[in-house]
Structure 1
């Protein structure tokens, strides 16, 4: 009985198998990372829906935030779904779909087919980025129209980033992609469209988080001056601290996304970082704004809800309409036989602080 002859694998085919295997491993790692962050996002989204619906949809702001929450989650879910589909199609294409083709031809077919989802993936990712920036700006300013350098920058960035997103999508739709999904094969303007939009988004987040940090520090100093240093940290202070810390952590993560705009060599540390960070970015771009919405709704005193108590006005002092009230953490101060409960707002300008000082 003769033994069947097994065809030998050529050195070229060995190289193809090794390369595909390495790519498959790291693509799978990316899929696991994105799936893990998507699972976290599911929990946060459910909590965001619960807390918003529990509070009730009573004004335009609450309606917009609810729609934004749904859009960001739906967009991130679509990104995760498309990545999983693309990953499974790569395995199916290499092992099952093209049995009559050589290994080199199978890889060539896979590389062509996987680019079909690049445009919708980029579209959703960029829209997530723009909507998320809108949430961050809203949180920093509380829907106020203020005239100062910071607000002017935020206003302009909110206009410029969408413009570069439109340029990027137009270039990708007309000229196609370059070597990777974040690069257009068109002119220099096309090639730099998405990196510029990303850079504006990063500066917007840094500026907005810095504004919140300044307000949090002013709020802390105000309460410390009035109530003394020996007091419990208010719930508002804790929420503001979480907003600031998570904001700067998000900025650091968003800065790491710069690696997505440079070509990476397969098998290097840069390629491994690219695989990890790209999987995280698709979900965190929607997850962080949702976290902001949750924090704002958890602390009603940080929103401009009409049901909240008005802040105390000292000697006719003018308090900003974007009030960080501390109803849930009111402290008692005793004078003689009685005690008065005070409720405070963040003072946003030297004029307001002067009113308070003169009243004291």
Structure 2
């Protein structure tokens, strides 16, 4: 009777292992498609900008971690299945021990994906927020530092446990690991919530500014900001579900044991998925995921009148935010044509002085005739 119960428990554990691997493989396959498309997009746009190179490198690094974790999960399930089929086989039992013992270390290493993803969210919020509001980013940054500390602590303790087996058998160390695991998920969630909240505030301010200036509620920039807000909210919801799932007991472990592999894949896929979503709504010239873009080529002409050698008005090179803003075509006031209608602060790298009245009138007329957009 006891052997029957033991066999049933082992079979039930194998069912959970295989189900978890199946779900993880499904999300890993989707993640692989996203990283392939995102890498193709990176190469098409070029890797000249430092921010683009950093984001590309981080995306590939997170994918490598997720791939290694998925491969290790496959090996763990295979070893557990072999041990379940023939527990008396010493060779299979040895393989199962070699795979299952370091698995706890891998569960700690993959938390790096959450740290990097949280950092990307804060980086994105830093780009979007106006400079006077960037001081509030210290809130999510503090939570990010706490997440880094708990992740580092877990990796260190799990490594010591492998080097010195039985070292974590003390109750106080086991309790410390439980606290670190819970605090890791909590601080990661709080970091994302605060950063997403700041993005929501900027999106609301921009919408009101555009509504007052242009008498319309929706612009391409507003759509991108709304997309960032919605995606951030969805990503935060996965963290909430992860914390709640720790409280739901199953016959074998908790619900969180099944969701953690999925959340790891989602954390890695978040950045490339968001990049592709934004790119589907805007062109490469309209937006960069991070950093700034030059609005026009600099003209090597130092004439003070603001005109190039061909007699046309010289374009000024601006370092601006990564989003484009349209000028009001119905405005006859050249001052309004140059009014900042967003929370992004341009910086003229050619001259700190504003263009003269004559230059503004000339540029306003030329823009209306050509029906072009001005990058603010």
Query: What interval of TM-score do these two structures reach, taking the shorter chain for normalisation?
Result: 0.7 to 0.9
**1:86-138 Cα deviation digits (max 9, x unpaired):** 1111111221463489xxx97x9957852322212321x22111111111110
The correspondence of residues 273-292 of structure 1 with structure 2, limited to 5 A, is 273-292=255-274
The correspondence of residues 120-269 of structure 1 with structure 2, limited to 5 A, is 120-123=106-109, 125-142=110-127, 150-175=136-161, 186=173, 188-229=175-216, 233-259=218-244, 264-266=249-251
Does residue 347 of structure 1 match 2:343? yes
Q: Distance in 2 between matches of 1:275 and 1:189?
A: 19
Q: Distance in 2 between matches of 1:28 and 1:49?
A: 31
1:16, distance to aligned residue in structure 2 (A):
2.1
1:211, distance to aligned residue in structure 2 (A):
1.0
**1:250-275 Cα deviation digits (max 9, x unpaired):** 111112222565694516xx84x335
Structure 1 237/19 Cα, relative in aligned 2: closer, same or farther at 3 Å?
A: same
Structure 1 199/322 Cα, relative in aligned 2: closer, same or farther at 3 Å?
A: farther
The answer (yes or no) to whether the contact 2:321–2:344 under 8 Å persists in 1 is: no
Bigger drift between 256-265 and 40-49 goes to 256-265
Q: Distance in 2 between matches of 1:83 and 1:117?
A: 8
Structure 1 46/96 Cα, relative in aligned 2: closer, same or farther at 3 Å?
A: same
Aligned to 2:351: none
The answer (yes or no) to whether the contact 1:94–1:110 under 8 Å persists in 2 is: no
Aligned to 2:27: 37
Q: Distance in 2 between matches of 1:322 and 1:168?
A: 41
Structure 1 308/148 Cα, relative in aligned 2: closer, same or farther at 3 Å?
A: closer
Q: SS of the counterpart of 1:142?
A: helix
1:39, distance to aligned residue in structure 2 (A):
1.1
**1:263-298 Cα deviation digits (max 9, x unpaired):** 94516xx84x33541231121121113323444556
Aligned to 2:57: 67
Structure 1 260/84 Cα, relative in aligned 2: closer, same or farther at 3 Å?
A: farther
Aligned to 2:353: none
The answer (yes or no) to whether the contact 1:80–1:282 under 8 Å persists in 2 is: no
TM-score norm. by structure 2 comes to: 0.71
1:245, distance to aligned residue in structure 2 (A):
1.1
Q: Which runs of 5+ in 1 are unaligned?
A: 1-10, 179-183, 311-319, 350-360
Aligned to 1:326: 324
The correspondence of residues 78-93 of structure 1 with structure 2, limited to 5 A, is 78-93=68-83
Structure 1 244/260 Cα, relative in aligned 2: closer, same or farther at 3 Å?
A: same
1:26, distance to aligned residue in structure 2 (A):
2.0
The answer (yes or no) to whether the contact 1:175–1:186 under 8 Å persists in 2 is: no
Q: Distance in 2 between matches of 1:51 and 1:325?
A: 18
TM-score norm. by structure 1 comes to: 0.74
Aligned to 1:12: 2
The answer (yes or no) to whether the contact 2:128–2:199 under 8 Å persists in 1 is: no
The correspondence of residues 295-306 of structure 1 with structure 2, limited to 5 A, is 295=277, 299=282, 300-301=286-287, 303-306=290-293
Aligned to 1:354: none
Q: Distance in 1 between matches of 2:51 and 2:344?
A: 22
Q: Distance in 2 between matches of 1:109 and 1:81?
A: 15
Q: Distance in 2 between matches of 1:252 and 1:227?
A: 34
Structure 1 70/239 Cα, relative in aligned 2: closer, same or farther at 3 Å?
A: same
Q: Distance in 1 between matches of 2:331 and 2:128?
A: 38
Structure 1 175/50 Cα, relative in aligned 2: closer, same or farther at 3 Å?
A: same
Structure 1 275/160 Cα, relative in aligned 2: closer, same or farther at 3 Å?
A: closer
RMSD, aligned CA? 3.7
Q: Distance in 2 between matches of 1:210 and 1:321?
A: 26
Q: SS of the counterpart of 2:329?
A: strand
1:227, distance to aligned residue in structure 2 (A):
1.3
